[in-house]
Structure 1
């Protein structure tokens, strides 16, 4: 909602809080702590926290961009799984599986296609 309302600071901050609460409720506090403090996820965690801080300091657009980079750093490993799930959906699946579009989507998501 914060993006749809032209980067409203309050809605972006609320979305960040709800996102973190959702992660806590889904995987638990100990696993959440372990996930965000892994050495491989450290850059993403720093960018995410710095982006949230910038949003709270009224630098909403720059904070959103940096926060987005942090989210990609944190959850970039899951993009392949998300694409495979979307390909199983009725309307989106055929579009993502189109031979013209599929190689680009696979490259963006980091999916390795084995040669036949």
Structure 2
């Protein structure tokens, strides 16, 4: 589980610009967070929280979150999907995890996400 403050992310964007978010979000994720009115900050926060929650399910110590190796997509039905690549995929494989499911919610000034591992069946 993870929680992200929109106020904190808003301040990061004010201090460093939107391009700073590309350290944590892929180009596609950032594009998915845009509306006709501009960047939806709570959606950004939800993606960041989902990545943190997904990483926590891997149960690895002393590792830096591979931000861009965890990508949050929106399924056709609207729910979030996690795609693991590179280092994140290797960490999952080492832990016997086939994938990660995630749920995201946001309201007013906070976004939360809960991740759960999909365990390998050993077949």
TM-score (norm 2): 0.29
Ranked by relative contact order (alpha carbons within 8 Å, sequence separation 6 or more), the top structure is 2
More helix by share: 1
In our comparison, the structure showing a higher alpha carbon Rg is: 1
TM-score (norm 1): 0.30
More strand by share: 2
